[in-house]
Amino acid sequence: PEDEYLSMPWFGMDIGGTLTKLVYFEPKDITPGEQDEEAESLRSIRRYLTKNSAYGKTGHRDAHLQMDNVEIRKRKGSLHFIRFQTTDMGNFLSLAKQKGMAELVTTVCATGGGAFKFENDFREQVNMKLAKFDELDTLIKGILFAEIQNRTECYYYENARDIMKSEKKAFDFSQPYPFILVNVGSGVSILAVYGPDNYKRVSGTSLGGGTFLGLCCLLTGCNTFEEAIQLATKGDNRKVDKLVRDIYGGDYDRFGLTGDLVASSFGQMHLKDKRSSVSREDLANATLVTITNNIGLIARMCALNEKMDKVVFVGNFLRVNPIAMKLLAYAMEFWSNGTLKGLFLEHEGYFGALGCLLQFNG
Ligand code: ADP
């Protein structure tokens, strides 16, 4: 059965609660002989995936994340990173069938809940078997591989204590252990990672990226994640939240709480006149700040408990979301008096799918 995994095309798939992530390996070392023998359908799939950047209604290739000159199972090539909404799985399967996937006997390595949910659909519609892997195992494998391949994978925010001045800077993550890993997808999982094959899931929360997007759509009438982030960028949570100064008239000095800290998220919204003066932008910003700070707090408690000083944040909640990343960086640094460091990775939501593709990397 090992041979089945070795026949091209090579994919790794992470079928999540919101987004499906697909990593595709494009071989770049094809010999002329191989080229002659290669099935037309295989060639056409390769062309389709690598020449386009949009697929169907919600499919996108993140060209800026492409990794070149990688070696996997003794083959050299490029890795392509593609995502689409999991609700579009039906369309994805029809497209795959139309492109001749069903004629190629293949096993695809898959992870995420959807690897279970859609297993029969894959078999029936495109003749593909799913080799299923655990999403947290593959998440860590993907992170370690990306760190080795890409020297600028990991970064932090310099001057994290001053959000206006904080700036992205490369971080040397070649000695990663131990670290806390916070995966912010639809929901949140928090792991303590001690070594390459040694980790435990220490906590989690259902208040995650899905909560941000869901509440934002309800409160502002927006329809997409991109729109929600755009609104949040232009808004001000202080019109929505109740701050320490709204309660104290200034700082709560005795315990070092400054006046501009949020005392109560959405705490002003019970007042009719305040409600009528907030904008959609303010509501989007407050939702983002609420969810992000809550994740930051739980992550910090986990780091404290595990006595670890590096906290790595991944997951697609962080996609095009510098507000959340800077807030998390600030929260780690400020509330720990500089002992904790928030770290981020360029391939944010793709590590599970990447780790999946690497499963038979002998
Ligand atoms: P999952 O595996 O649960 O789908 P992801 O790591 O893919 O988790 O993250 C999903 C979250 O990413 C969403 O809840 C949302 O907050 C955010 N997100 C980023 N980009 C998008 C997008 N294009 N569509 C929907 N959600 C997105």
Catalytic one of 26, 38, 124, 135: 135
Cα–Cα distance measured from residue 192 to residue 199, given in angstroms and rounded to the nearest whole number? 6
How far is the centre of ligand 1, averaged over its atoms, from the C-alpha of 260 (Å)? 30
CB of residue 209 inside a 6 A radius of ligand 1? yes
d(CA 352, CA 135): 6
Give the CA count within 13 Å in the CB-facing half-sphere of 6.
8
The string of DSSP codes covering 283-342 is HHHHHHHHHHHHHHHHHHHHHHHHT--EEEEESGGGTT-HHHHHHHHHHHHHHTTT--EE
Q: Does the beta carbon of 316 lie inside 6 Å of ligand 1?
A: yes
SS3 label, residue 193: strand
63 Cβ contact list (under 8 Å, min separation 6): 53
**Could you tell me the distance, in angstroms and rounded to a whole number, from the CA of residue 7 to the centre of ligand 1?**
31
The response to whether residue 285 sits with its C-beta less than 6 Å from ligand 1 reads no
Q: Does 315 sit in the ligand 1 pocket, CB within 6 Å?
A: yes
**For the CA of 348, the nearest atom of ligand 1:** 6
Check if the beta carbon of residue 328 is closer than 8 Å to that of residue 343: no
Ligand 1 in reach of 16 Cβ (< 6 A): yes
Question: What ligand 1 atom has the least distance to the C-alpha of 210?
Answer: 14
Told to judge if 34 belongs to the known catalytic residues of this protein, a careful annotator would answer: no
The interface predicted TM-score (ipTM) is: 0.99
213 lines ligand 1 (CB under 6 A): yes
| Per-position pLDDT tens, the chain of length 362 | 556 667 889 999 999 999 999 999 999 999 998 888 888 889 999 999 999 999 999 999 999 999 999 999 999 999 999 999 999 999 999 999 998 888 886 889 999 999 999 999 999 999 999 999 999 999 999 999 999 999 999 999 999 999 889 999 999 999 999 999 999 999 999 999 999 999 999 999 999 999 999 999 999 999 999 999 999 999 999 999 999 999 999 999 999 999 999 999 999 999 999 999 999 999 999 999 999 999 999 999 999 999 999 999 999 999 999 999 999 999 999 999 999 999 999 999 999 999 999 987 64
Q: Strand 10-15 vs strand 106-111: parallel, antiparallel, or unpaired?
A: parallel
Q: Pocket of ligand 1, candidates 316, 317, 323: which has the most ligand atoms within 8 Å of its Cβ, to mutate?
A: 316
55 alpha carbon – ligand 1 mean position (Å): 18
pTM, entire model: 0.96
DSSP string, 206-243: S-SHHHHHHHHHHHH---SHHHHHHHHHT--GGGTSEE
Alpha-carbon span 135 to 133, nearest angstrom: 6
Please give the backbone phi and psi of residue 316, each rounded to the nearest 5 degrees, phi first: -75, -10
